[in-house]
Amino acid sequence: MALLTIRDALNEALREELKRDENVFIIGEEVAEYDGAYKVTRGLWKEFGSKRVVDTPITELGFAAVGVGAAMAGLRPVVEFMTWNFSVLASDQIINHAAKMLYMSGGQFNVPIVFRGPNGSAFQVSSQHSHALEAMYSNFPGLKVVMPSTAADAKGLLKSAIRDNNPVIFMEQERMYGMKGEVPEEADFTIPLGVADVKREGTDCTIVARSMTVPLALQAAEKIKEEFDVSCEVVDPRTIKPLDIDTIVGSVKKTNRLVIAEESHSFASVGAEIAYQVMDTAFDHLDAPVKRISTVEAPMPYAKNLEAAALPSVEKIVEAVKEVCYL
């Protein structure tokens, strides 16, 4: 196993797919000569040249449209948004074109395209740069939505996303780019989309977490085991759509309790959807109401202490587990 940061795991995935398939290319702001705003594309422009790693003007709608057209013509573009916050400007191309082209063309045009970049909060980037947009994109048929939480998942899932024949929304987390983890060194390591992963096994309470809340949930599980001898199972869906609800329900049937930790706001969130699906299929297995931990219903504040108060935390997850376990 190689020990890589999530940033370097993503870089390896891109490099390997650029080598494997001449139809793959990267397009976005500062992805080439500057090596990417977060250095995920470091070294790729020098290695593959300006036709495979393409810098663009600051025009998200424009380069997203170029990507969609290229995908319809048979190429496999990877479109980088400097952050998913800016994807709102390109959402017409993502929602009205990439997501719907296969359906509206009667199956004549696949759109094999990956839109990727950092999603959610960063470090004091305030209200306009801290959106967690997975619930919005998950709401549209035609889009797959992926959110890795480890270096291995980042590499394996991105390679699968690039090979998929449909548009994939690939959401990373800026706070996690420097986090390290073991990554298999096998020649063609991939992870299939739509398969959840049990990050920690347990018997008393299920915590469903994704992206940034996975390491928080794992810390909370260790803390509550030490303080209250409660065994928590941590399930990471990894792919939000299609959602591996069977793995989540299987865990709930074992533990009989469910806490969902997510960085997005709670109203109409992915957590709300998971809670409904668990209620619909495993209601009789629940020994307590489902508890959700989300970012507070307010624009993200700039002040460091207020930002921390707004976001999910280890302490908030511990309190939620205590509540569903009646401790």
- CB neighbour list of residue 34: distance below 8 Å, 6 or more residues apart: 55
DSSP 79-134: EEPSSGGGGGGGHIIIIIIITTHHHHTTTS-----EEEEE-S--SS--GGG----H
Per-residue DSSP letter, 175: G
Per annotation, catalytic residue among 29, 80, 97, 129: 129
Assigned token pair, 232: 């928590």
The size of the chain, in residues, is: 327
CA 249, 253, 255: angle at the middle one, nearest 5? 110
Is residue 97 part of the annotated active site? The answer reads no
- CB neighbour list of residue 20: distance below 8 Å, 6 or more residues apart: none
Assigned token pair, 68: 């969609």
Per annotation, catalytic residue among 17, 29, 60, 262: 60
Is residue 80 part of the annotated active site? The answer reads no
Alpha helices in the chain (DSSP H): 6-20, 44-48, 60-72, 91, 101-104, 134-138, 151-163, 213-228, 245-255, 270-282, 304-310, 314-324
Tell me the catalytic residues.
60, 129
